[in-house]
Amino acid sequence: MDFSVVFWVFVVFAVLQPILRQRFLESMRRRRISQIERARGSRVILLVHREERVSLLGLPIIRYLDMNDSEEVLRAIQLTDPNMALDIVLHTPGGLYLAATQIARALGGHKGKVTVFVPHYAMSGGTLIALAADEIMMCPHSVLGPLDPQVEGLPAVSLLRVLEQKPVAEIDDETLVLADIAQKALTQLEQTVAQLLKSRMGATAASELSKTLTSGRWTHDYAITAEEARDMGLPVKTRMPSEVLELLALYPQPILEMPSVEYLPTPHSRNGK
Protein backbone atom coordinates (compact mmCIF):
# COMPACT_ATOMS: atom_id res chain seq x y z
CA MET A 1 0.00 0.00 0.00
CA ASP A 2 1.26 3.47 -0.88
CA PHE A 3 2.73 5.23 2.17
CA SER A 4 0.83 8.44 1.36
CA VAL A 5 -2.46 6.53 1.56
CA VAL A 6 -1.53 5.11 4.96
CA PHE A 7 -0.54 8.56 6.11
CA TRP A 8 -3.83 10.16 5.09
CA VAL A 9 -5.84 7.31 6.58
CA PHE A 10 -4.03 7.92 9.85
CA VAL A 11 -4.67 11.67 9.64
CA VAL A 12 -8.39 11.18 8.97
CA PHE A 13 -8.66 8.69 11.83
CA ALA A 14 -6.80 11.06 14.20
CA VAL A 15 -9.19 13.88 13.28
CA LEU A 16 -12.37 11.81 13.49
CA GLN A 17 -11.53 9.76 16.58
CA PRO A 18 -12.33 12.51 19.16
CA ILE A 19 -15.55 13.35 17.30
CA LEU A 20 -16.64 9.72 17.12
CA ARG A 21 -15.76 9.22 20.79
CA GLN A 22 -17.83 12.28 21.76
CA ARG A 23 -20.80 11.08 19.71
CA PHE A 24 -20.54 7.65 21.30
CA LEU A 25 -20.54 9.20 24.80
CA GLU A 26 -23.53 11.37 23.94
CA SER A 27 -25.42 8.32 22.69
CA MET A 28 -24.56 6.38 25.86
CA ARG A 29 -25.67 9.31 28.04
CA ARG A 30 -29.04 9.64 26.34
CA ARG A 31 -29.62 5.92 26.53
CA ARG A 32 -28.79 5.85 30.25
CA ILE A 33 -30.90 8.95 30.97
CA SER A 34 -33.83 7.36 29.15
CA GLN A 35 -33.43 4.15 31.16
CA ILE A 36 -33.45 6.04 34.48
CA GLU A 37 -36.47 8.11 33.44
CA ARG A 38 -38.46 5.01 32.52
CA ALA A 39 -37.49 3.21 35.72
CA ARG A 40 -38.30 6.16 38.01
CA GLY A 41 -41.10 7.77 36.01
CA SER A 42 -39.30 11.10 36.15
CA ARG A 43 -37.57 13.82 34.17
CA VAL A 44 -33.78 13.57 34.62
CA ILE A 45 -31.75 16.79 34.42
CA LEU A 46 -27.99 16.84 34.83
CA LEU A 47 -25.97 19.87 35.88
CA VAL A 48 -22.34 18.77 35.57
CA HIS A 49 -19.32 21.09 35.59
CA ARG A 50 -15.90 19.75 34.72
CA GLU A 51 -12.57 21.49 34.21
CA GLU A 52 -12.05 22.17 30.52
CA ARG A 53 -8.80 22.94 28.71
CA VAL A 54 -8.07 25.23 25.77
CA SER A 55 -7.19 22.84 22.95
CA LEU A 56 -3.90 24.34 21.77
CA LEU A 57 -2.56 25.97 24.90
CA GLY A 58 -3.81 23.39 27.38
CA LEU A 59 -4.88 26.11 29.81
CA PRO A 60 -7.35 25.02 32.50
CA ILE A 61 -10.78 26.65 32.52
CA ILE A 62 -12.93 25.86 35.54
CA ARG A 63 -16.60 25.80 34.58
CA TYR A 64 -19.16 27.29 36.94
CA LEU A 65 -22.91 27.66 37.18
CA ASP A 66 -23.92 30.46 34.81
CA MET A 67 -26.99 32.04 33.24
CA ASN A 68 -26.94 29.66 30.29
CA ASP A 69 -27.26 26.77 32.76
CA SER A 70 -30.27 28.37 34.44
CA GLU A 71 -31.95 29.01 31.07
CA GLU A 72 -31.50 25.38 30.04
CA VAL A 73 -32.68 23.93 33.36
CA LEU A 74 -35.72 26.22 33.45
CA ARG A 75 -36.52 25.21 29.88
CA ALA A 76 -36.35 21.52 30.83
CA ILE A 77 -38.67 22.13 33.78
CA GLN A 78 -41.13 24.02 31.57
CA LEU A 79 -41.22 21.03 29.21
CA THR A 80 -42.11 18.72 32.11
CA ASP A 81 -45.61 18.00 33.41
CA PRO A 82 -46.02 19.90 36.73
CA ASN A 83 -46.94 16.69 38.54
CA MET A 84 -44.07 14.60 37.15
CA ALA A 85 -41.11 13.90 39.43
CA LEU A 86 -37.82 15.68 38.74
CA ASP A 87 -34.45 14.00 39.30
CA ILE A 88 -31.58 16.50 39.31
CA VAL A 89 -28.01 15.18 39.17
CA LEU A 90 -25.65 17.83 40.59
CA HIS A 91 -21.88 17.92 40.21
CA THR A 92 -20.76 21.53 40.52
CA PRO A 93 -18.50 23.90 42.49
CA GLY A 94 -21.25 26.52 42.38
CA GLY A 95 -21.32 29.79 40.48
CA LEU A 96 -23.59 32.79 39.93
CA TYR A 97 -26.05 33.53 42.72
CA LEU A 98 -28.74 34.65 40.25
CA ALA A 99 -28.49 31.46 38.19
CA ALA A 100 -28.58 29.21 41.27
CA THR A 101 -31.51 31.15 42.73
CA GLN A 102 -33.57 30.89 39.55
CA ILE A 103 -33.05 27.14 39.37
CA ALA A 104 -33.74 26.65 43.10
CA ARG A 105 -36.97 28.64 42.98
CA ALA A 106 -38.15 26.78 39.88
CA LEU A 107 -37.53 23.46 41.62
CA GLY A 108 -39.16 24.68 44.83
CA GLY A 109 -42.29 25.63 42.90
CA HIS A 110 -42.56 22.32 41.06
CA LYS A 111 -45.57 20.26 42.19
CA GLY A 112 -44.05 16.84 41.55
CA LYS A 113 -41.43 15.32 43.82
CA VAL A 114 -37.96 16.81 43.38
CA THR A 115 -34.94 14.63 44.15
CA VAL A 116 -31.41 15.98 43.95
CA PHE A 117 -28.58 13.48 43.53
CA VAL A 118 -25.10 14.52 44.69
CA PRO A 119 -22.65 11.76 43.71
CA HIS A 120 -19.55 13.75 44.71
CA TYR A 121 -20.06 17.44 45.52
CA ALA A 122 -22.48 20.32 45.06
CA MET A 123 -20.88 23.37 46.63
CA SER A 124 -22.09 26.95 47.11
CA GLY A 125 -24.74 27.58 44.42
CA GLY A 126 -25.05 23.82 44.00
CA THR A 127 -26.00 23.54 47.67
CA LEU A 128 -28.57 26.32 47.20
CA ILE A 129 -30.18 24.26 44.44
CA ALA A 130 -30.13 21.13 46.61
CA LEU A 131 -32.03 22.95 49.37
CA ALA A 132 -35.06 23.19 47.06
CA ALA A 133 -35.38 19.41 46.84
CA ASP A 134 -37.87 17.20 48.65
CA GLU A 135 -35.08 14.64 48.97
CA ILE A 136 -31.29 14.93 48.72
CA MET A 137 -29.58 11.68 47.77
CA MET A 138 -25.86 11.54 48.60
CA CYS A 139 -23.09 8.97 48.77
CA PRO A 140 -21.54 8.44 52.23
CA HIS A 141 -18.64 10.70 51.24
CA SER A 142 -20.50 13.23 49.09
CA VAL A 143 -20.43 16.83 50.32
CA LEU A 144 -22.39 20.05 50.20
CA GLY A 145 -20.96 23.45 51.11
CA PRO A 146 -21.67 26.67 53.01
CA LEU A 147 -23.66 29.48 51.39
CA ASP A 148 -21.74 32.49 52.71
CA PRO A 149 -21.71 35.13 49.92
CA GLN A 150 -18.43 36.27 48.41
CA VAL A 151 -17.82 39.88 47.37
CA GLU A 152 -14.91 40.49 44.99
CA GLY A 153 -13.51 37.15 46.09
CA LEU A 154 -13.73 38.04 49.78
CA PRO A 155 -16.14 36.54 52.36
CA ALA A 156 -18.96 38.98 53.05
CA VAL A 157 -18.91 38.20 56.78
CA SER A 158 -15.17 38.94 56.99
CA LEU A 159 -15.67 42.32 55.31
CA LEU A 160 -18.32 43.23 57.88
CA ARG A 161 -15.97 42.28 60.70
CA VAL A 162 -13.55 44.91 59.48
CA LEU A 163 -16.19 47.53 60.37
CA GLU A 164 -16.50 46.03 63.84
CA GLN A 165 -12.78 45.95 64.54
CA LYS A 166 -11.62 49.30 63.12
CA PRO A 167 -12.94 52.87 63.35
CA VAL A 168 -14.61 54.02 60.14
CA ALA A 169 -12.05 56.83 59.82
CA GLU A 170 -9.30 54.22 59.46
CA ILE A 171 -11.04 52.23 56.72
CA ASP A 172 -10.52 53.10 53.05
CA ASP A 173 -13.49 53.98 50.86
CA GLU A 174 -13.28 50.83 48.73
CA THR A 175 -13.51 48.57 51.77
CA LEU A 176 -16.49 50.56 53.06
CA VAL A 177 -18.27 50.14 49.73
CA LEU A 178 -17.49 46.41 49.68
CA ALA A 179 -18.76 46.07 53.25
CA ASP A 180 -22.03 47.76 52.26
CA ILE A 181 -22.44 45.33 49.36
CA ALA A 182 -21.50 42.47 51.68
CA GLN A 183 -24.30 43.34 54.10
CA LYS A 184 -26.85 43.43 51.30
CA ALA A 185 -25.59 40.14 49.84
CA LEU A 186 -25.72 38.45 53.24
CA THR A 187 -29.27 39.64 53.91
CA GLN A 188 -30.49 38.65 50.44
CA LEU A 189 -29.00 35.17 50.57
CA GLU A 190 -30.24 34.50 54.09
CA GLN A 191 -33.77 35.45 53.03
CA THR A 192 -33.57 33.28 49.88
CA VAL A 193 -32.44 30.23 51.84
CA ALA A 194 -35.14 30.72 54.46
CA GLN A 195 -37.81 30.97 51.75
CA LEU A 196 -36.64 27.76 50.10
CA LEU A 197 -36.65 25.83 53.37
CA LYS A 198 -39.80 27.27 54.97
CA SER A 199 -42.33 24.99 53.28
CA ARG A 200 -40.38 21.87 54.25
CA MET A 201 -39.28 22.57 57.82
CA GLY A 202 -41.28 25.54 59.14
CA ALA A 203 -40.39 29.23 59.34
CA THR A 204 -38.43 29.10 62.61
CA ALA A 205 -36.24 26.13 61.71
CA ALA A 206 -35.73 27.51 58.19
CA SER A 207 -34.57 30.86 59.56
CA GLU A 208 -32.13 29.21 61.96
CA LEU A 209 -30.65 26.94 59.30
CA SER A 210 -30.35 29.80 56.80
CA LYS A 211 -28.28 31.74 59.35
CA THR A 212 -26.11 28.68 59.99
CA LEU A 213 -25.37 28.21 56.29
CA THR A 214 -24.76 31.88 55.47
CA SER A 215 -23.11 33.17 58.66
CA GLY A 216 -19.52 32.46 57.61
CA ARG A 217 -18.74 30.14 60.51
CA TRP A 218 -16.81 27.97 58.02
CA THR A 219 -14.52 28.70 55.10
CA HIS A 220 -16.29 28.74 51.73
CA ASP A 221 -14.85 25.35 50.76
CA TYR A 222 -15.88 23.60 53.99
CA ALA A 223 -17.24 20.10 53.27
CA ILE A 224 -20.67 19.45 54.79
CA THR A 225 -21.03 15.67 54.90
CA ALA A 226 -24.25 13.74 54.42
CA GLU A 227 -24.38 13.00 58.15
CA GLU A 228 -23.82 16.65 59.07
CA ALA A 229 -26.44 17.81 56.56
CA ARG A 230 -28.92 15.31 57.98
CA ASP A 231 -28.23 16.58 61.51
CA MET A 232 -29.06 20.08 60.27
CA GLY A 233 -32.53 18.85 59.36
CA LEU A 234 -32.06 18.46 55.61
CA PRO A 235 -33.88 15.51 53.93
CA VAL A 236 -30.67 13.59 53.17
CA LYS A 237 -30.47 9.89 52.34
CA THR A 238 -27.40 7.87 51.38
CA ARG A 239 -28.92 5.31 49.03
CA MET A 240 -27.34 6.56 45.82
CA PRO A 241 -28.57 4.45 42.88
CA SER A 242 -25.75 2.79 40.97
CA GLU A 243 -27.43 3.97 37.74
CA VAL A 244 -26.75 7.59 38.67
CA LEU A 245 -23.07 6.90 39.37
CA GLU A 246 -22.77 5.07 36.06
CA LEU A 247 -24.43 8.01 34.30
CA LEU A 248 -22.02 10.53 35.82
CA ALA A 249 -19.10 8.35 34.70
CA LEU A 250 -20.18 9.16 31.13
CA TYR A 251 -19.19 12.80 31.77
CA PRO A 252 -15.42 12.28 32.07
CA GLN A 253 -12.85 14.95 32.75
CA PRO A 254 -11.16 15.94 29.45
CA ILE A 255 -7.69 14.38 29.51
CA LEU A 256 -4.77 15.91 27.61
CA GLU A 257 -2.08 14.54 29.88
CA MET A 258 -1.31 11.55 32.09
CA PRO A 259 -4.17 11.01 34.59
CA SER A 260 -3.41 11.60 38.26
CA VAL A 261 -5.74 8.77 39.35
CA GLU A 262 -5.92 5.43 37.61
CA TYR A 263 -7.46 2.02 38.42
CA LEU A 264 -9.20 -0.91 36.74
CA PRO A 265 -12.86 0.24 36.52
CA THR A 266 -14.41 -3.06 37.61
CA PRO A 267 -15.85 -4.18 40.99
CA HIS A 268 -13.29 -6.01 43.15
CA SER A 269 -13.82 -8.34 46.11
CA ARG A 270 -11.53 -10.32 48.38
CA ASN A 271 -12.58 -13.68 46.91
CA GLY A 272 -11.74 -12.48 43.40
CA LYS A 273 -15.30 -12.77 42.06
| 61-98 residue pLDDT tens | 567 899 999 999 999 999 999 999 999 999 999 999 99
Residue 173 lies in a domain: yes
183 found inside a domain: yes
pLDDT of residue 44: 95
In a domain, 43, yes or no: no
Residue 148 and residue 182 in contact, taking contact as beta carbons nearer than 8 Å: no
Return the pLDDT at 55: 44
Q: For 164-189, how does the pLDDT look when each residue is reduced to its tens digit (9 = 90+)?
A: 999 988 989 999 999 999 999 999 99
Note the pLDDT of residue 231: 95
In a domain, 162, yes or no: yes
Asked if the structure places residue 184 within a domain, the reply is yes
Among the residue ranges 205-209, 211-215, 220-224, 256-260, the one predicted with the least confidence is 256-260
Whether 155 maps to a domain, the answer reads yes
Range of the domain at 155: 146-220
Distance CA 71, CA 199 (A): 25
Whether 111 maps to a domain, the answer reads no
Sign of torsion over alpha carbons 95, 99, 101, 103: negative
- State the total domains in the chain: 1
pLDDT of the residue at 26: 83
In the predicted structure, residue 160 carries a pLDDT above the cut 60: yes
pTM above 0.95, yes or no: no
- Whether residue 176 lies inside any domain: the answer is yes
At residue 266, the pLDDT reads: 62
The pLDDT assigned to 19 comes to 67
